[in-house]
Amino acid sequence: MFFEERQSRDFDKTLLFAALAIFAIGMAAIYSATQARGLAFAESFVLRQLNSFIIALIVLMVCVRVSYQKFVDLSYVFYFVTVTLLVLVLLLGRARLGAQRWFSIGSFAFQPSEFIKIVLILVLANYIGGKKNAMEPIQRLIVPVLLLALPFLLVMVQPDLGTALLMVPIFLSMILLGGARVKYIAGMLILGIISMPFFWHFLRDYQKQRLLVFLNPNADPLGAGYTIIQSKIAVGSGGLIGKGWLAGTQNQLNFLPERHTDFIFSVIGEEWGFSGALILTLLYFLIIKRALTIVSSTSDIYGKLIAGGIAVLFSFQVVINISMTIGLMPVVGIPLPFVSYGGSSLIATFAAIGLLINVGMRRSTF
């Protein structure tokens, strides 16, 4: 009873408020990005996202109510199921824009790769936490590397370069928290850089083109470079306070492709300007700061690893998405958390918030 009362007091309302505020901003942006299509409300992207939001809230409540240690205990089951789905999506999934990442369930598209990020955090926490900060021997890294390698390769084959790359900093940060030597991590980074020419040959042509136009978008202004050029125009034209909701010309005149998914930050930048983008960024910063606070104040190694993995996931996902929309990074297809349209991404992201709140409530009970 004492634990339940204390856990209720430790419920991180600020973390939940920040997530809901960002989601509200995202809903306004999705409506603006899609209302010109003239869809009936029953078929609109806004309604679909609201339906996903209801599921996401249920998942969040489950992730808060059930002790995170139970999720850790079941992590290998989650891992097996999710990896199986990643295999099945390659055989039975729906292809779109040159990628095969989705199962179609009625009007809902289920994307297993969005959930593998959370599952990877849980399964790594299970293994690393069980070693009790004794990850120094290099042979202890074999199992974590294998746990990373299998979903990494399956996601790459889809192909989903962005999600695959996100797994790497999650992995490196968690083995570092688990006590792995810095020299081993540095060695992995060097090995990864050296192997880049090898992986280049396995990229699809459009992925190679995206990386090349990052260096010079004007090399293919009507092809691979078109989206990033239009995105930079949209963000730059927003100025200090923006053009106003539903008043962005790049958005409303359909110059900007994929503006309701990966490039939704461009809509926000154009309509709300620097001030709106700053507010959004500060809300993300608040979530990441609260996650790092949970990491530093959690005595249980399993909770510390989960919170650390989620903090890194949010940090890299936000930085990469915003950077690619303003031309500072190549386009790799990473959604903006809580904002980009997509049910799987929204549900997985709220699950991560639920786990963070869970660890914060129980950080000293194990």
pLDDT reported for residue 3: 44
Encoded tokens for 53: 């939001």
* Below-70 pLDDT ranges, the chain: 1-9, 36-43, 95-100, 105-107, 133-134, 200-202, 205-207, 215, 217-224, 363-366
- Residue 203: inside a domain: yes
Encoded tokens for 62: 């489950």
Task: Count CB neighbours of 113 within 10 A.
Answer: 26
Entry pTM: 0.90
Angle at 344 between CA 339 and CA 288, to 5 degrees: 50
Angle at 57 between CA 264 and CA 260, to 5 degrees: 15
**8 A C-beta contact, residue 264 and residue 339:** yes
Number of domains in the chain: 1
What distance in Å separates the CA atoms of residue 126 and residue 62, rounded to the nearest whole number?
19
Domain hosting 18: range is 2-76+177-361
pLDDT reported for residue 45: 85
pLDDT reported for residue 1: 41
- Residue 60: inside a domain: yes
Strand partners, 102: 94
pLDDT reported for residue 107: 64
- Residue 120: inside a domain: no
- Residue 100: inside a domain: no
pLDDT reported for residue 8: 61
What distance in Å separates the CA atoms of residue 289 and residue 310, rounded to the nearest whole number?
11
**8 A C-beta contact, residue 139 and residue 159:** no
- Residue 146: inside a domain: no
CA 228 to each of CA 161, 204, 220, 262, 272: distance values in angstroms, whole numbers, following the listed order: 17, 19, 11, 11, 19
**Would you call 216 exposed, middle or buried from its count of C-beta atoms within 10 A (0-12, 13-18, 19+)?**
exposed
- Residue 94: inside a domain: no
- Residue 35: inside a domain: yes
Outline where 66-204 has alpha helix (H): 68-73, 75-92, 112-130, 142-157, 161-177, 182-194, 196-200
CA 161 to chain centre: 13
What distance in Å separates the CA atoms of residue 195 and residue 149, rounded to the nearest whole number?
14
User: Which helix (H) or strand (E) segment is 353 a member of?
Assistant: helix 343-361
pLDDT reported for residue 135: 72
**Would you call 327 exposed, middle or buried from its count of C-beta atoms within 10 A (0-12, 13-18, 19+)?**
middle
- Residue 339: inside a domain: yes
